[in-house]
Amino acid sequence: MNKEFFLFLLASWNLVLTVLVIRFIKHYRRLTSQVKSGNLEAILDRILDRQLLNHKEIGLIKKQLTRLDRRERQALQALGLVRFNPFSDLGGNQSFSLAIINRHQQGLVITGLHGRQATRVYAKLLNGQKISLSEEEKLAVKRAQQELKKVKSHEK
């Protein structure tokens, strides 16, 4: 083999090793940048302890999120209100229908009919079963569903 070729290989190998050592030193400095004193073993032990603690905390957070998600699915999230006048001889829209629903379209409709002598309040459950609703109650449910669509679109 030629001397020049051998020197070229040796210089190339030296360059590769130098690059690897520089990378190692940068990595070591990054690992030890937050530590004032100690050896590498102590530093790595602290990192592993932090990682274990983070893992446990992430597990607790996941459990809490699962619980909150279950509760949130059942929470009443949208309102629809319709004011109306059921009697032609009374002035103003004193009566109302209020629909309150969750993301599964379940909830209730509360209707208050205001008359001269008394005000009557009725409640109907919306639980997926077919029930008869007045036009005002249907409109209140429709408004609540539209509000629910807005809430869902903001979640994305």
φ and ψ at residue 79, rounded to 5 degrees: -120, 145
pLDDT digits (tens, 9 = 90+) for 26-80: 988 887 776 666 677 777 788 899 999 999 999 999 999 999 988 887 788 899 9
> pLDDT higher for 130 or 145?
145
Share of the chain above pLDDT 70, in %: 94
Torsional sign, CA 61, 63, 69, 72: negative
* Every domain of the chain and the residues it spans: 3-72, 75-155
- Averaged pLDDT score across all residues of the chain: 88
Residue 119 Ramachandran class (φ > 0 left, ψ -120 to 50 alpha, else beta): beta
Strands 107-114 and 119-126: antiparallel
Residue-level pLDDT at 1: 62
